[in-house]
Structure 1
Amino acid sequence: MTRDMSFFMQGKAEVIEEQEHVVSKRYKDEDGKVIPFVFKPLATERIEQIEKECMKPVMQKGRKVGERVDNGRFMARIGVESTVFPDFKDKSLLESYNAVDPVEVLKKVLSIGGEYTAFMNAVQKVNGMDEDFEDMVEDAKN
């Protein structure tokens, strides 16, 4: 392999397209076909911003001694932001579920545990969080 820096120049990376995944069999179109969810990857900067927004104080004896990430909320927010369709931030969808928080709508739409798990697996896959380090090393060798 050549160590040519031009491979890493701006615009050289492959664009990752939106991906469709079926995460629930309960939502069907007018023809009875299961409706796939559509996902897009998030930029690293957006993921970092969401992480900052999901920080919670760590309290000890009534005083803040640090912060930690609320991992459940963090992953749910990444899920909401990665989902193109359905749009969990859509005003009519929020009103339909009498909610203001898109994460709340997500959890109501995918109220069966296995659906939410399938959803989170799809989110991790589209954002490249599902790849095992050893698999990436093997891909690089090939």
Structure 2
Amino acid sequence: MADKKSLKYFMRPEAKEEQTVFAPGPDTILGEDGKPITLEIRVLHNDHIRKLNESYRTRKMATDKKGNPIVANGVVVYKEDRDSARAARHIIAEALVYPDMKDKELQEFFNCYDMVDMVDKVFPSADEYNHVSRVVLAALGLGPAVEVEDDDEKEIGDAKN
């Protein structure tokens, strides 16, 4: 009888909890020390990202000019629409811990109460948005790698300073 392989290697806390990492913010948003603020990014799990993406997908029956369903090979044809840009902003808004796009004070300042629209309000220039988008998507594994620090590295770095 073969030895049973251990599954303990797959029972990792990080597989159950979304971790937080840190990345430098845009050069245009400086902290009190004169350096770019540090973004806090929650590393969303794949199922979380998939659900967000799917929420921006609509599927409806394709119809001809008269409104009749289009059938091909005995199967009703469906038309699928995706709002990829809004889905990406929602993923960014959901992943950002700091700044928090759900923060009431921040929303009141911009007179905007939709966390997805807040991303464009808080980072209004193309350069700022592109920077934040790049670092957040990289932290989530959805874009090219950029330098980010995880919680442990940040605490070690803070202790050294």
Fold similarity call, TM over 0.5? yes
User: What's the TM-score, normalizing by structure 1?
Assistant: 0.73
Q: Do structure 1's residue 103 and structure 2's residue 116 form an aligned pair? A: yes
User: What's the TM-score, normalizing by structure 2?
Assistant: 0.66
Q: Do structure 1's residue 120 and structure 2's residue 121 form an aligned pair? A: no
Letter in 2 for 1:23: G
- SS of match in other structure, 1:128: coil
Alignment-derived partner of residue 158 in structure 2: none
Instruction: Report sequence identity in percent.
Output: 24
> Per-residue deviation at 1:12?
7.5
Alpha-carbon contact 2:18-2:43 (below 8 Å) kept: yes
Name which one, 1 or 2, has greater alpha-carbon Rg.
2
The residue correspondences of 1:36-55 to structure 2 (distance < 5 A) are 36-55=38-57
Superposition RMSD on alpha carbons, in Å?
A: 2.9
Q: 1:16 to 1:92 in 2, by over 3 A?
A: closer
Structure 1 ranges of 4+ moved more than 3 A? 4-8, 12-17, 56-65
Alpha-carbon contact 1:39-1:83 (below 8 Å) kept: yes
Q: Which has the higher contact order (CA 8 A, sep 6+)?
A: 2
1:71 to 81, 84, 97: 84
> Per-residue deviation at 1:68?
2.6
Mapped to 1, the partners of 2:134 and 2:19 lie a distance apart of 17
Alignment-derived partner of residue 56 in structure 1: 58
Aligned length: 129
Alpha-carbon contact 1:23-1:116 (below 8 Å) kept: no
